[in-house]
Amino acid sequence: MYLGVKAVIAKSMARIHKNNLINHGVLPLIFADKEDYDKISLGDQLVLSDCLEGIRKKEIQVTDKTKRFTFKTVLDISDDEAEVLLAGGQLRYIKKQIQA
């Protein structure tokens, strides 16, 4: 979060790691097709498309601008976790709830 990380893309993710990412407003993305993992390289420029709608649909499309291909990722999250992500993390979510 403090380093500017917006998303983590992995083949799989431990529950506690996923929860920590969500609490900090970082998208915990899983490759829809695990073979896409081998197609990207260190230093590739990845662009996430339409994140707000993707959080609601629990699916985000990622474009590798370096190698010019697109792949899908999924968000294995509950509706409550999606609301936390849309708020920007747990602290912002709670602040929003208190102000309402």
| pLDDT per residue as tens, the chain (100 positions) | 677 889 999 999 999 999 999 999 999 999 999 999 999 999 999 999 999 999 999 999 999 999 999 999 999 999 999 999 999 999 999 999 999 7
Q: For residue 78, what are its two tokens?
A: 């509950």
Residue 4: predicted pLDDT: 83
- Strand pairing of 27-31 and 7-10? parallel
Residue 3: predicted pLDDT: 78
C-alpha 2/C-alpha 37 separation (Å) is 25
CB 21 within 8 A of CB 33: no
C-alpha 89/C-alpha 51 separation (Å) is 14
C-alpha 1/C-alpha 3 separation (Å) is 5
Residue 22: predicted pLDDT: 97
Q: For residue 15, what are its two tokens?
A: 């529950």
Residue 42: predicted pLDDT: 94
Residue 1: predicted pLDDT: 65
